Amino acid sequence: MNAFRRCWTVAGLLGLVIATLGARASGEIIKVVSPSSAKNSEGNSSGTPNAGAPGRVQFLYLASEFAQLPATHRHIVAFNYRADGNSNQPNNWTFPDVEVWMSTTSRTTLSSVFADNHGPNKTKVHDGSLTFPILATPPAEGPKDFADGQLLDAPFFYDPSQGNLLIEEAYVVSGPNFPSPTIDTQSGVSGRFLATTVGLPNSTSGTLVNSFPVFQLEFVPEPSTFVLAGAGFALVGLLACRSKIGGRRRAMRRDCVD
């Protein structure tokens, strides 16, 4: 039974990856920039996170930012930051150990207490290493291009009609090889960015920051032919696993009889 479950898990994850990559390749992925005012223009500020410092942050995305998102696209599979317009060096901004949580929340501004902001469907979507590829491509004055974000361990279903979107990151970093990029931000955005004091990833409360990193979130269609293809791949993998496990069991029975 344990072997069967392991096969099912592996096959399912491979199916999800194939489905998501297929959506990306076809152009059916929809990318939403928040704050929306910075979609086609450079943010009015910038920030350089402390290198090598663990911490905990929350970001609040208003449902109105997703007003143009079609009902077919409800699964978030990745997100990413954008380089500041003055940056001219690309950066693979890597967190060796990070947990990412998402939820749908009724909050319209964040409380300074992290737990107060979670919605009832709080879901862990990533646990482990996470890299944000930061581009430095033209135009020189900005805004810089977004790179596709690293795929999360699991997609998150988000329906804007049910409330606002909350993303939380709790990260642990160490060592000198943790270059931090200068990222594009928008100041004057109140109540949407909560951060701990540097070095306190387990803090229960933080400080509200009057600026917001410019993000790009990636949504894939569901249902879609890509998801069906992924599910088909998972089914083929599952049947292969069952066949392999069944063969092992028959061999064991023959050994016992002999």
Query: pLDDT by residue (tens digit) across 99-120?
Result: 999 999 999 999 999 999 999 9
CA 220 vs CA 7, 40, 94: distances in Å: 25, 22, 24
Q: Indicate if the pLDDT at residue 183 is higher than 50.
A: yes
Instruction: Please give the DSSP secondary-structure letter assigned to residue 96.
Output: E
Q: Indicate if the pLDDT at residue 88 is higher than 90.
A: no
Q: Indicate if the pLDDT at residue 58 is higher than 60.
A: yes
Indicate whether 44 belongs to any domain. Answer: yes
pLDDT at 27: 53
- Give the tokens for residue 124: 């862990």
Q: Indicate if the pLDDT at residue 227 is higher than 90.
A: no
Indicate whether 154 belongs to any domain. Answer: yes
Indicate whether 23 belongs to any domain. Answer: no
Domain ranges, residue 153: 29-223
d(CA 185, CA 211): 6
pLDDT at 238: 46
Indicate whether 146 belongs to any domain. Answer: yes
User: At a CB cut-off of 8 Å and minimum separation 6, what does 14 contact?
Assistant: 230, 233, 234, 237
pLDDT at 228: 46
pLDDT tens for residues 117-167? 999 999 999 999 999 999 988 777 779 999 999 999 999 999 999 999 999
Average model confidence (pLDDT) across the chain = 80
Q: In the chain, how many H helices and how many E strands?
A: 2, 13
Residue 35 pLDDT class (50, 70, 90 cuts): very high
Highest mean pLDDT among 2-6, 19-23, 79-83, 87-91: 79-83
Indicate whether 247 belongs to any domain. Answer: no
pLDDT tens for residues 191-220? 999 998 666 667 899 999 999 999 999 999
Indicate whether 228 belongs to any domain. Answer: no
pLDDT at 16: 52
Indicate whether 126 belongs to any domain. Answer: yes
pLDDT at 175: 47
Domains contained in the chain, number: 1
Q: Indicate if the pLDDT at residue 20 is higher than 80.
A: no
Q: Indicate if the pLDDT at residue 177 is higher than 60.
A: no
Indicate whether 238 belongs to any domain. Answer: no
